[in-house]
Amino acid sequence: MTSKKIDIAFEEAVERINAHAEPFPADFLLRLYAYYKKATNNYERPSSRTPIINAFKTNALFQIQKISEDEAKQSYIDLVNNYFLYRK
């Protein structure tokens, strides 16, 4: 998949997640968070009011530090597609 196609599919996956009204499992949200931050080159510190949540977010980011932006986008897309395919 070309970078432009990955970008389009990534934006569609983000829109799909943002439009979903039901709550997501915490582990799923952490993976989404990490892939999204990596895919968008957002290296700001986690800003939760709860220190333990910041620790989990930081750990999730640490685990994917060696992948590229495009790999993060593709992983985000795959994660979203699999969630909606198998959630029922």
pLDDT of residue 73: 97
CATH of the domain at 56: 1.20.80.10
Give the pLDDT band of residue 77 (cuts 50, 70, 90).
very high
Rg (CA), the chain: 13
When divided into structural domains, the chain yields a total of: 1
CA distance 56 to 12: 26
Distances in whole angstroms, Cα of residue 43 to Cα of each of 9, 24, 35, 40, 73: 22, 23, 12, 9, 15
Q: Domain range for residue 24?
A: 3-86
* H or E stretch covering 36: helix 26-39
Q: Using CB atoms within 10 A of its CB, is residue 39 exposed (0-12), middle (13-18) or buried (19+)?
A: buried
pTM: 0.90
Q: Is the pLDDT of residue 22 over 80?
A: yes
